Amino acid sequence: MNYNTPILDQTAKIIEHVILLTEYLYESGVDYLDVPECNSNICNELSNKKGIDLNYNLLRNQANKSALENIKSIVGDCTRCRLHENRNKIVFGDGNPSPEIVFVGEGPGQEEDIQGLPFVGRAGKLLDRILKAMGLLRNEVYICNVVKCRPPRNRNPELDEIETCSQFLNKQLTVLRPRIICALGNVAAGFLTGKKAPMTVLRGHFYDYNNIPVLPTYHPAALLRNPAYKRPVWEDMQKLLQYLGRPIRTK
């Protein structure tokens, strides 16, 4: 006798009721529910059932949004490293709270420091064009940096600054748990892969960050300075799309 199907159906009904209740709470203004992470076979199977997936995503979105807000409140008006001295705004990160892809740069630039948002200057506009060429919308992905405050004159963040600030990135990535991380530039690639090597060596290969694949590529700012990086960046983005099983675009 197969006991699994009826049990699964009953559990599915219970979860459907929970989801309906959650939607009702959400529409009534409740925006935080502490949903424990669940990767069990039964949950995965249920999430494939018609009607469950979307609602499961709603739960995950709400839980992740609240968890990210919580990390933001821990960052607070941070003075933990010297980068706070010249900053205007902390640039925490922005985007989809349940993304397939997270892009990580090194630190905010001038425009980001003014607006408090990541990748909104010239390099950000180029990243937008890259995303568009990949068939992605900016609000589908999450974008953040290794350090949250702008280093003076856009210098690279120092090792002690990275060590102090990266606790927040680690927390963000634990919550976001994307299918893949794209490390933009040497600082992000070095931190996320733990490898010290030039981008010519690192790019085009997959590495591991807490069981999440990391694909390093050139920072869009480097691409602005050196258009010859355009081809390798595009090859890397095709590799990323292929990994996700998304259509590979030809430019």
- Residues making contact with ligand SF4 (CB under 6 A): 75, 78-81, 83-84, 90, 147-149, 161, 164-165
> Quick one: 82 or 230, whose CB is closer to ligand SF4?
82
> Quick one: 117 or 147, whose CB is closer to ligand SF4?
147
What are the CA-CA distances from residue 217 to residues 84, 133, 157, 192, 229 (Å)?
28, 16, 18, 12, 9
Least Å distance, CB 233 to ligand SF4, is 27
Least Å distance, CB 174 to ligand SF4, is 17
Alpha helices in 38-158 (DSSP H): 41-47, 52-75, 110-115, 122-133
> Quick one: 43 or 78, whose CB is closer to ligand SF4?
78
Least Å distance, CB 147 to ligand SF4, is 4
For residues 250 and 136, what is the distance between their CA atoms, to the nearest angstrom?
14
> Quick one: 165 or 182, whose CB is closer to ligand SF4?
165
Q: At what angle do helices 230-244 and 122-133 cross, to 10 degrees?
A: 50
Least Å distance, CB 81 to ligand SF4, is 3
Of 216, 154, 155, nearest to 185 by C-alpha is 216
> Quick one: 109 or 239, whose CB is closer to ligand SF4?
109
Least Å distance, CB 76 to ligand SF4, is 9
